[in-house]
Amino acid sequence: MARRYGNLLARLGAGFMGISHQRAPAFRWGVIAALAILWVWAGYNGWVKQGDVVDAEGAVDIAEAAYRTAAALGPEGSYLSPPNIELEVARFAGIALPLIGLLLAFSAQLGRSVAQLFNHGAADHVVVAGGGPAALALADDCVKRGDIVTLIAPTLMEETTQIMRAHGVTVIQGDAARPEVLRGARAHKAAHVVAFEDSEARNLHVEAAVRTVAQRRGKRTPLAVHTAMATPMLLQEAREMRSREQAARDRAASAAGKPPRVLIDAKPFSLHELAARRLIQSRAPVWLSQAQAAGQARLHLVLFGFDGVAEAVAVRTLMAVWSAHFEPPRITVISPDPRQTELRFRARYPQAMGNPAVWTPDIAFLQGDWTLAPIDQAMLAEIDKARGPATACVVATGDDEVNIRIGLSLLRTCNQGGFWPVPIYLHEDSASEFTRQYASGDKTPDIADAFLEAFGARETLATRELVLEGAADRGAAVAHAYYVADIGKRDAATMRELQAAARGWGTILETYRAANRGSADSALVKLWDAGWLPAGVGDAGETTPTIDPALLPMMARREHDRWSAERLLAGWRPGPRNNELMTHPNLKSWEELTEDEQNRDVAQVKSAIDVGRLLVRQGFVRRA
């Protein structure tokens, strides 16, 4: 069972917080209602039994009974008459009603006060800084998994605050970039702090403040600080900064002869990158099968729009989807301003565009303004003529409403005469009923037609598993273990060994982490090359697939090409090995590598087996 974050005091505080905002009001009004009903029922029956409100014909004077019940609460009231159990009950219920009602009126505040008292000793919990939809989705998912969560937000709707507190979340309205606010949230004693505000700059300010309060952490395990990024360049720089910080700390500890003191484990992340990686990890075999069925020479991805998610999909495809049976992947971007879009891309990836002797990405930017012209067969025919037929399409303009309109137009156009019978991946920031109903994947697997599939909604990405546990990097951890230990020379590893390899991922420098992310994302591509496809959900497939040794040389060569593309896109360039200057001597052709260097690529191909086993638990089946 996965670990749940939060110590006993944090759990008691969360419990009282939930009771005070959810159960206390219902309990309070329930008690008051019960006392009122008891008072009226006992008083009525008591006066009827005594006979004072019954006339000679046996009729009950209800008004008189009600008056006597309400008026006889004082010490001189008729309740002092001869013994009558119903009237005694009514008397005490009537007296208790206002007293208990007054006491219970303070029950919510009492619960909050007790919760705050316990929260002063909270530790090992999760602190989320941000009040946006993604931050709230993460907090909600953590609570569902049994974690104790403190949410820091400068402004939050009262209804949202009440709902979160009813779920046991401690909500602090304040600026998470201020150390005193973080100390109030016990961030220095937390297991995870997630900077999940709407601005990258704000998130970096929060991370800096967390570093300040972490000085009071003592000898606890390092505090994991997850900082949300949106810009690819800033994400890369944040990761490289973490790597340089780690290397400098290790050098200082080595010189002092002491183990390094680690207070912060910085973990920059991007929902855009997570969306792209999850799409590629799960759908790359579908694309390759589509290209094979269409007789295409290469995988060709056509992107309508080029927002942050589209750029991440393009870059991760160029980093990972390299098949030994196809030419390098091709990307075509349709944009209202292709020149400006291309200049931005070149500025962000200068090494990839500036080293043609090693590799140049096959990416083109074409004109297409869907606000001025329809997406019809004439537009698709121009793309087809200039770049060839598509293997798959991605719609990601940065606006969910526009994405839906383009997706529907593209679906109709592609299916008109079977022009492009391709999958169309529709990005959405937030899951909608439309995408659940009409963009849920291929409903006709036996018919070659286009279909819509939504991806990248924050509800599926801002989760405990992906953000806190780093599930997307588990395969990369295994790929790194193969690289350093040459596990590929042994028999297939057990699942326990694979999980152990993943646990050592946190101590690896970022330069190796980035390289192995690309290797892991390409694992299912290599398995496709070897003749395997993931088994269907619920099916029992082969759990130990194999690669024909005759395919290894060809696949290792393609792996080197893929690695070179990944390194150039990550900002590396040819030259003597220098992690600081980001130069690598192996950025050259396959023929120029030594036998040992080529064997490293063979080991990475073999690692795809175990990475795939980790990603696809139901196993694999032979493809046609």
Residue 491 predicted with pLDDT over 50: no
DSSP 8-state secondary structure symbol assigned to residue 577 = -
In this prediction, residue 477 carries a pLDDT of 80
| Contact between 573 and 583 (Cβ < 8 Å) | yes
Helices and strands in the chain: count of H runs, count of E runs: 24, 16
Q: Across residues 213-239, what is the average pLDDT? A: 86
SS3 of residue 364 by DSSP: strand
pLDDT tens for residues 252-270?
A: 877 888 777 788 888 999 9
- Which stretch of 19-23, 135-139, 339-343, 455-459 has the lowest confidence by average pLDDT? 19-23
The rounded distance, in Å, linking the Cα atoms of 138 and 153 is 14
pLDDT tens for residues 307-319?
A: 999 999 999 999 9
Residue 277 in tokens: 């990686």
Q: How confident is the model at residue 462 (pLDDT cuts 50, 70, 90)?
A: very high
Alpha-helix runs per DSSP H in 354-494: 377-387, 400-415, 433-438, 458-461, 474-485
pLDDT tens for residues 337-359?
A: 999 999 999 999 999 999 999 99
Q: Across residues 412-421, what is the average pLDDT? A: 91
In this prediction, residue 157 carries a pLDDT of 87
- Which stretch of 33-42, 198-207, 373-382 has the lowest confidence by average pLDDT? 33-42
pLDDT tens for residues 426-456?
A: 999 998 888 888 888 887 765 678 999 999 9
SS3 of residue 170 by DSSP: strand
pLDDT tens for residues 160-217?
A: 988 888 888 999 999 999 999 999 999 999 999 999 998 999 999 999 999 999 988 8
Q: How confident is the model at residue 1 (pLDDT cuts 50, 70, 90)?
A: very low
The answer, as to whether pTM is greater than 0.85, is no
- Residue 221's CB: how many other CB atoms inside 10 A? 11
Q: Tokens 């029956």 map to which residue? A: 45
The rounded distance, in Å, linking the Cα atoms of 303 and 289 is 19
In this prediction, residue 568 carries a pLDDT of 96
Q: How confident is the model at residue 95 (pLDDT cuts 50, 70, 90)?
A: low
The rounded distance, in Å, linking the Cα atoms of 571 and 356 is 14
In this prediction, residue 91 carries a pLDDT of 64
